[in-house]
Amino acid sequence: MVRGAMTRSLILALGADHGGVALKNRLAAALAEAGHEVRDYGTDGPASVDYPDFAQAVCAAIEDKQADFGILVCGTGIGMSIAANRHPGIRCGLVHDVTTARLTRAHNNANVLALGARIIGEEVALDILHAFLATEFEGGRHERRLAKLNQATETTP
Ligand code: RB5
């Protein structure tokens, strides 16, 4: 990856539907090349599949502490982000640019990144991935806000 080293070595859980499989495979290759461990939860080909199945697998890996971060790719990223954010332990950012990639880590402590393969190009996706993994959570006032997200999850029917 030509975007500079991604600091420490991480375990990344990747998932995609048919709309995101090509980009997911490209990101997996870049991550492996950068020295990260990639756990690929599919899909593996162009056959039509249902994005919630792959969001579920990746989010379970994060909640079970089998991976540090999740990367989910579908056509728009929207379905994957909706599915992922139904998990109480998941904070998934749907990101289309480097700035929101950085801020969803710094402010939201996102542990899953959702991307839309039909919305952004491969180069933008690679830049987003680098920014997401290179940014640490800032903590401080953002901790209080994240705690309120968890309260909402517990009380909302
Ligand atoms: C699949 O056609 C498409 O609906 C899916 O990839 C995603 O964009 C859903 O949000």
pLDDT digits (tens, 9 = 90+) for 89-121: 999 999 999 999 999 999 999 999 999 999 999
pTM: 0.93
The Cα 131–Cα 135 span in angstroms is 6
Q: Which of 51, 53, 72, 81 to mutate to test the pocket of ligand 1 (most atoms within 8 A of CB)?
A: 51
Question: Taking the CA atoms of the chain, what radius of gyration do you get in angstroms?
Answer: 15
The separation between CA 95 and the C-alpha centre of its own chain, rounded to angstroms, equals 9
The separation between CA 25 and the C-alpha centre of its own chain, rounded to angstroms, equals 14
Task: Show the domains of the chain with their CATH numbers.
Answer: 11-155 (3.40.1400.10)
Ligand 1 centroid – CA 96 distance (Å): 16
pLDDT of the residue at 150: 78
> Which residues contact ligand 1 via a Cβ below 6 A?
17, 19, 51, 74-76, 78-79
| pLDDT tier for residue 124 given thresholds of 50, 70 and 90 | very high
| Amino acid at the residue 63 | E
